[in-house]
């Protein structure tokens, strides 16, 4: 029967893999934790992990060699050939080096992943130049739209052609290309013209005329474009 009897005493199954047979018999063995084993045979010692396999009262135990009395531990260690100790040290050093290299590779992979994500994030963010270009394009487009809307409303509902008895019956609004106002951020000016046909009830006659106008559009503090001036030429 195999069983563990203290937190530091582990299953003996793993201890046989790289162990060196020592087969030291003892009638009793007082461990450093205060427990005493009887009818003891120290079966093997694994120099690599520092564990001994002990048969006590027909039970196998695996424990660290530090739990044995100092003189017994020294005797066990002395029975292991130097070449076995050297091989164990080399294997242990090799595993540590492999672990260091694996950890280094893992850290390097993390670093590369962070850099790739950072590059992707930076590429996905529009630059200040891109933001400025987009804002300028929007301002020009909105200036043209707002100028047309303002002119259409003005000549349809507010403009009074000829005498007070004239009525606009047809109109056609045309606008040019907007231009940014130098020295005034977010402001554009655009020129346009309107062709009007109106009816004068006093003279019972139809007349046509063309009027020019100028519209100024400004982006406000909320980032919204709005008409700030409409001038009839």
Residue-wise pLDDT tens digits, 165-206: 677 777 889 999 999 999 998 999 999 999 988 777 776 778
| 54 domain-assigned | yes
Q: What is the pLDDT of residue 127?
A: 63
| 117 domain-assigned | no
| 115 domain-assigned | no
Give the range of the structural domain holding residue 167, as residue numbers without chain letter. Answer: 134-232
Q: Using 50, 70 and 90 to split pLDDT, how confident is the model at 156?
A: confident
Q: Are both 148 and 76 inside the same structural domain?
A: no
CATH number of residue 142's parent domain: 3.10.450
Taking the C-alpha atoms of residue 76 and residue 42, their distance in angstroms, rounded to an integer, is: 8
- Taking only the tens place, the pLDDT of each residue in 96-114 is 787 888 888 888 888 888 8
| 90 domain-assigned | no
CA nearest neighbour of 179 among 129, 140, 134 = 140
Q: How far apart are the first and last CA of the chain?
A: 111
Q: Using 50, 70 and 90 to split pLDDT, how confident is the model at 162?
A: low
| 210 domain-assigned | yes
- Give the strand pairing for 205-219 and 36-46: unpaired
Q: What is the pLDDT of residue 203?
A: 67
DSSP H or E segment with residue 129: helix 128-153
- Taking only the tens place, the pLDDT of each residue in 43-77 is 998 877 889 999 998 899 999 989 999 999 888 88
Is 154 within 8 Å of 198 (Cβ atoms)? no
CA nearest neighbour of 179 among 136, 145, 120 = 136
Total of domains in the chain = 2
| 93 domain-assigned | no
Arithmetic mean of pLDDT, 2-18: 40
Q: Are both 53 and 141 inside the same structural domain?
A: no
Arithmetic mean of pLDDT, 205-215: 89
Q: Using 50, 70 and 90 to split pLDDT, how confident is the model at 161?
A: confident
Phi first, then psi: give them for residue 223, nearest 5 degrees: 85, 15
- Lateral strand order in the sheet of 51-56: 20-30, 36-46, 51-56, 59-64
């Amino acid at each position: 029967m195999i069983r563990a009897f203290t937190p530091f005493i582990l299953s003996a199954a793993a201890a046989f893999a790289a162990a060196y047979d020592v087969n030291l018999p003892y009638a009793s063995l007082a461990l450093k934790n205060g427990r005493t084993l009887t009818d003891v045979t120290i079966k093997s010692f694994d120099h690599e992990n520092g564990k001994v396999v002990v048969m006590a009262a027909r039970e196998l135990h695996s424990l660290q060699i530090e739990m044995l009395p100092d003189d017994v531990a020294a005797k066990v260690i002395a029975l292991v050939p130097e070449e076995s100790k050297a091989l164990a040290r080399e294997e242990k050093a090799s595993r540590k080096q492999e672990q260091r290299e694996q950890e280094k590779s893992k850290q390097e992979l993390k670093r590369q992943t962070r850099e790739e994500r950072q590059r992707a994030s930076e590429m996905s963010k529009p630059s200040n130049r891109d933001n400025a270009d987009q804002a300028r394009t929007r301002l020009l487009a909105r200036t043209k739209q707002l100028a047309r809307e303002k002119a259409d409303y003005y000549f349809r509902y507010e403009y009074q052609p000829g005498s007070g008895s004239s009525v606009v019956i047809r109109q056609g609004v045309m606008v040019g290309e907007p231009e940014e106002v130098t020295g005034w951020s977010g402001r554009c000016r655009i020129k346009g013209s309107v062709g009007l046909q109106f009816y004068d009830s006093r003279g019972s006659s139809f007349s046509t005329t063309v009027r020019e106008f100028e519209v100024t559009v400004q982006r406000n503090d909320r980032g919204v474009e709005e008409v700030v001036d409409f001038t009839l030429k």
